[in-house]
Structure 1
Amino acid sequence: MNMLRTWGVILIGALVLSGCATLNKEECLTADWYQIGYEDGARGYSDTRIASHREACAKHGISPDFRSYQDGHSEGVIRFCTPRNGFDQGTRGYQYTGICPPSLEGEFLDAYDAGREIYAVQSSIRELRSEQNRNESQISRLQDDIAAAEQALFSAETSEEDKRNIYDRIGRMQEELGSLEQRNKQLVVDIAQAEAKLRVLEEKYAYY
C-alpha cells in the first residue's frame, strides 16, 4: 500500500472531530460504552473520539469505560472497513481518518479512492454549473442595463456630454457581456466533458 497515502489520511484524521460535546447528561448516565464505541467505529470515527465523549460526560461527573469503548470500536471498524462502504464513503466526500486495520485497509482504500474520483468529478460539475448560473444572472442584468442605457442615449432630454458618458459605459458593458457569453460557451463544453467523464467512471466502478 502507498505509504504516502497512508500518512496523508492519518494526518487528515488527526484534524477531524475534535472538541465537540457528543453526549448529553442522560446519554452519559445510561451510556453503553461498548455500543457507543461500535457505533463510532461503524460510522468511520477514530477511537480518539472518546476524548470528546470524556469531555461531554466530565461535566456530569461521569468517565467513559475506555476498555468497553475500545472493544466496541474495534468491532464497528470491521463493519466500516469494507470495499463497498469505502466506495460509498468516497463518493460522499468522507475524509478517511486512517482507522482501518492493515488487513482491511488496502481493499478499503482502493474502493475509497475510486469513490473519491467520482466525488471529485461531481464536485467539479457542481462548481461549473454554479459558475454558469452566476454568469447567466450577470448576463441578464447586463442586457437590462444596456437596454436602459440605450434608451437614455437616444432620449431628447439627455445632454451631449451625458450621451458621450453613456456611450462609453455601454461599450464597457458590451465588452463585459461578450466575455461572459464567451465564458458560458466554454462552460457548456466543460460541463459536457465532465459529465462524460463521470459516466465513464460510473461504468468503470460499477462493480462496487
Structure 2
Amino acid sequence: MRALVVMASTLLVFGCVQGVDDLAKAGDWEKIGYQDGVRGQLSRSYSELNEMGPAVHSEYDAGYQRGLLEFCDADYAYQIGLSGHYYTGACEGLPEGQRFRMEWQRGWTDYSN
C-alpha cells in the first residue's frame, strides 16, 4: 500500500510540472528550484540559471532546498531506486544522506536484477 502511495505521489508531482522555460519567462525561480530538488537533480549553476533569464538566485535556492528535503526522505529511497530513478548524489551532506544512499542502492540493486 505504501509503495502505491509513493508512486501515486510521484506521478502527481511529475504530472503537474510546468516547463522550465515557461516558469523562467514567468519569473517563478522558486518553482524551478523546487522542481529540480524534488526530482533529486543537482542544483543548477548561476550561469545555467542566467541563461534562462534574469534569475533570482535566492528564490531558486529556497525552492531547491525545499524540494530536495522532500526528495531526500530516506524512508522512500528504496522505492526511488526500485523504480529505476538514477540517484545523482544530491542528498549528500544532508543528515539522512548516507541512509538515503544505502536505501536507494538497495532498491536500485533489486531493480537491476
TM-based fold match above 0.5: yes
Cα offset for 1:73?
0.6
What residue is the counterpart of 1:180 in the other structure? none
3-state SS of 1:75 partner:
helix
Q: Does 1:44 align with 2:40?
A: yes
State the distance in 2 between where 1:94 and 1:54 align. Answer: 28
Identity %: 26
Query: Aligned residues, how many?
Result: 94
**Conserved in 2, the CA contact under 8 Å of 1:23 and 1:53?**
no
Instruction: Tell which structure's C-alpha radius of gyration is larger.
Output: 1
State the distance in 2 between where 1:50 and 1:88 align. Answer: 32
For residue 86 of structure 2, the aligned residue among 84, 95, 119 is 95
State the distance in 1 between where 2:109 and 2:63 align. Answer: 31
**Conserved in 1, the CA contact under 8 Å of 2:23 and 2:32?**
no
Q: 1:178-197 counterparts in 2 under 5 A?
A: none
State the distance in 1 between where 2:47 and 2:85 align. Answer: 21
Q: Does 1:110 align with 2:102?
A: yes
Q: Does 1:74 align with 2:65?
A: yes
Higher relative contact order (CA 8 A, sep 6+): 2
What residue is the counterpart of 1:23 in the other structure? 20
> CA-to-partner distance for each residue in 1:120-169, whole Å, 9 max, x for gaps?
11xxxxxxxxxxxxxxxxxxxxxxxxxxxxxxxxxxxxxxxxxxxxxxxx
Distance 1:54 1:43, change over 3 A: same
| Paired amino acid for 2:34 | Y
State the distance in 1 between where 2:81 and 2:58 align. Answer: 30
Cα offset for 1:41?
0.3
TM-score (norm. length: structure 1): 0.40
| More helix as a share of residues | 1
Q: CA RMSD in A?
A: 2.1
| Paired amino acid for 1:23 | V
TM-score (norm. length: structure 2): 0.70
